[in-house]
């Protein structure tokens, strides 16, 4: 297997996750397939930037740098891409740890030159020690984890999931970087879908591109106690609807909702039926899971409608950056009509 050279980017924003950040970096440094480098991108937090710089000032292969763009996860990732040297760039959440063969599984996927992205499987670590009885596996994406309904093994997908993903550098050269104006911004409203929009844009720029997930590329993602409650579930599903509206304005509803149609017409009804069946058999949480699925669909739909209205009114602009040199620059922006301009 040829060594593609993998840079790992970890975006960080708060000192509240200090121990998690150290654990994430340690898991990368312990890989059976060594990373070329690990880049910690700090999102507009001078105190955290200084503290991490001191922590890793003598560490070989670890670099700490400031987000060179606007606040938010997308700009942080773009900063890491521009500063990295690997042929492949992998992304790891700052509150996750990777299993020892994580990068090895990614590298194996790139043996095929058509492969432009490889994602993995993200397993939740519940703060309470176990999954809440009411929480359906079909909605594990709410807490940033792999959900029921994704194909097993190594399989082609429309998009990878951002917290456990990798891309060939040429993917960004072809399609640009992550769009700003979408995705997370620290602890504010938990938007997402920035990796979905990028992957769709990539396959449009490179119709021959292959995107994979490999469920052997495993990370373990911490789920804090507040995210185990229905209030967060409701907030996150609503935000997903808002995000999906932005994606469809950018890339169209055909591709923007392609995977979601199968998910809502096949995976979720099966989940409701399973929950009802468990309830009838007296198993704990069955009715709660069925109800949560229905509530999640309705809340996401409400967010989608609201996001579509806001987009039509011109309330949001997505900016796609060009990755050149060591600083991302805006290549084009998508306004309320979804039209690109330089």
Beta pairing, strands 327-334 & 210-223: unpaired
Asked whether the beta carbons of 339 and 317 are under 8 A apart, the reply is: no
If pLDDT is split at 50, 70 and 90, which confidence band does 260 have?
Answer: confident
Q: 137 in helix, strand or coil?
A: helix
**What local confidence, expressed as pLDDT, does residue 255 receive?**
58
Q: Is pLDDT at 342 greater than 50 in this prediction?
A: no
Distance, in Å, from the CA atom of 198 to the CA atom of 319, rounded to the nearest integer, reads 12
Distance, in Å, from the CA atom of 185 to the CA atom of 192, rounded to the nearest integer, reads 10
Distance, in Å, from the CA atom of 321 to the CA atom of 146, rounded to the nearest integer, reads 28
Asked whether the beta carbons of 112 and 91 are under 8 A apart, the reply is: no
Asked whether the beta carbons of 171 and 209 are under 8 A apart, the reply is: yes
Rounded to an integer, the average pLDDT of 147-164 is 93
**What local confidence, expressed as pLDDT, does residue 138 receive?**
97
Angle between helices 230-251 and 194-205 (to 10 degrees): 20
Distance, in Å, from the CA atom of 235 to the CA atom of 227, rounded to the nearest integer, reads 10
Give residue 49's Cα distance to chain centre: 23
Q: From residue 301, how far is each of 234, 271, 280, 294, 295 by CA, in Å?
A: 12, 18, 28, 11, 10
Model pLDDT for residues 297-306, shown as the tens digit of each residue: 999 999 989 8
The strand pairing partners of 221, in sequence order, are 96, 124
Q: Is pLDDT at 6 greater than 70 in this prediction?
A: yes
Higher pLDDT, 316 or 28: 28
The strand pairing partners of 168, in sequence order, are 88
Q: Is pLDDT at 123 greater than 90 in this prediction?
A: yes
Instruction: State the average pLDDT for the chain.
Output: 88
If pLDDT is split at 50, 70 and 90, which confidence band does 319 have?
Answer: low
If pLDDT is split at 50, 70 and 90, which confidence band does 261 have?
Answer: confident
* Neighbouring residues of 97: CB distance < 8 A, sequence distance ≥ 6: 23, 24, 26, 27, 219, 220
Higher pLDDT, 247 or 240: 240
Burial class (CB in 10 A: 0-12, 13-18, 19+), 26: exposed
Asked whether the beta carbons of 55 and 70 are under 8 A apart, the reply is: no
Distance, in Å, from the CA atom of 136 to the CA atom of 67, rounded to the nearest integer, reads 35
* Neighbouring residues of 71: CB distance < 8 A, sequence distance ≥ 6: 43, 44, 185, 186
Rounded to an integer, the average pLDDT of 51-70 is 96
Handedness of CA 337, 160, 296, 231 (dihedral sign): negative
**What local confidence, expressed as pLDDT, does residue 148 receive?**
95
Tokens of 230: 């229905």
Q: Is pLDDT at 333 greater than 50 in this prediction?
A: no
Tokens of 44: 């507009």
**What local confidence, expressed as pLDDT, does residue 52 receive?**
98
**What local confidence, expressed as pLDDT, does residue 338 receive?**
40
Rounded to an integer, the average pLDDT of 307-327 is 67
Quick one: CA torsion of 143, 148, 149, 151, rounded to 10 degrees? 100
Residue 122: enclosing H or E segment and its boundaries? strand 115-126
* Neighbouring residues of 187: CB distance < 8 A, sequence distance ≥ 6: 14
If pLDDT is split at 50, 70 and 90, which confidence band does 210 have?
Answer: very high
Cα maximum dimension of the chain: 60
DSSP 226: G
Asked whether the beta carbons of 176 and 320 are under 8 A apart, the reply is: yes
């Amino acid at each position: 297997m040829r060594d593609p050279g993998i840079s790992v980017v970890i975006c960080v924003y708060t000192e509240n996750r200090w121990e998690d950040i150290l654990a994430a970096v340690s898991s990368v440094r312990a890989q059976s397939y060594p990373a070329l480098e690990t880049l910690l991108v700090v999102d507009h937090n001078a105190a955290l930037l200084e503290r991490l710089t001191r922590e890793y000032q003598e560490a070989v292969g670890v670099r700490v740098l400031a987000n060179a763009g606007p606040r938010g996860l997308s700009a942080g990732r773009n900063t890491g891409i521009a500063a990295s040297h690997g042929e492949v760039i992998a992304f790891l959440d700052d509150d996750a740890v990777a299993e020892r063969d994580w990068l090895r599984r990614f590298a194996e996927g790139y043996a095929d030159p058509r492969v432009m992205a490889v994602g993995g499987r993200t397993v939740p670590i519940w703060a309470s020690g176990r999954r809440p009885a009411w929480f359906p596996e079909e909605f594990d994406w709410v807490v940033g984890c792999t959900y029921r309904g994704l194909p097993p093994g190594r399989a082609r997908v429309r998009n990878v999931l951002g917290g456990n993903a990798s891309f060939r550098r040429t993917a960004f050269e072809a399609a640009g970087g992550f769009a700003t104006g979408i995705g997370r911004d620290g602890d504010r409203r938990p938007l997402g879908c920035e990796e979905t929009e990028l992957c769709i844009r990539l396959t449009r720029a490179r119709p021959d591109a292959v995107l994979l997930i490999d469920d052997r590329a495993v990370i373990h993602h911490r789920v804090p106690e507040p995210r185990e409650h229905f209030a967060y579930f409701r907030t996150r599903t609503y935000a997903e609807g808002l995000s999906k509206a932005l994606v469809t304005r950018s890339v169209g509803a055909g591709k923007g909702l392609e995977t979601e149609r199968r998910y809502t017409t096949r995976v979720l009804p099966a989940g409701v039926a399973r929950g009802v069946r468990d309830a009838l058999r007296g198993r704990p949480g069955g009715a709660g899971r069925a109800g949560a699925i229905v509530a999640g669909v309705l809340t996401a739909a409400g967010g989608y409608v609201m996001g579509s209205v806001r987009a039509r009114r011109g309330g949001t602009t997505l900016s796609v950056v060009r990755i050149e040199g060591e600083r991302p620059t805006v290549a084009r922006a998508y306004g309320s009509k979804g039209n690109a301009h330089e």
